[in-house]
């Protein structure tokens, strides 16, 4: 959750530091396009993997709580 804002802020700061917007135009646009494209790809990949693997299926909060309480009781 911290990587995306850091990368975006570095891109914006780097583009703003150059000063001349004409020299930044194509390179800055390409960098932003890569950033947005990579972000969308990673989000879609994560969504597809969750839909395929279904993590946590068959588990409910009550089962998890019951198991953790039983584990603590056995450990004592």
Per the CB < 8 A criterion, the answer to whether 61 and 34 are in contact is: no
Residue-range definition of the domain harbouring residue 35 = 3-75
Task: Give me the average pLDDT of each 10-residue run along the chain (76 residues).
Answer: 83 77 74 87 94 86 68 59
Structural domain tally of the chain? 1
CA distance 16 to 66: 54
pLDDT at 26: 76
pTM above 0.85, yes or no: no
């Amino acid at each position: 959750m911290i990587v995306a804002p850091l990368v975006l802020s570095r891109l914006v700061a780097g583009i703003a530091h150059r000063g001349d917007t004409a020299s930044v135009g194509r390179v800055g646009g390409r960098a932003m396009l890569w950033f947005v494209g990579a972000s969308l790809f990673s989000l879609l990949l994560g969504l597809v993997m969750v839909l395929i693997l279904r993590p946590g299926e068959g588990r409910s909060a009550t089962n998890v709580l019951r198991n953790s309480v039983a584990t603590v009781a056995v450990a004592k």
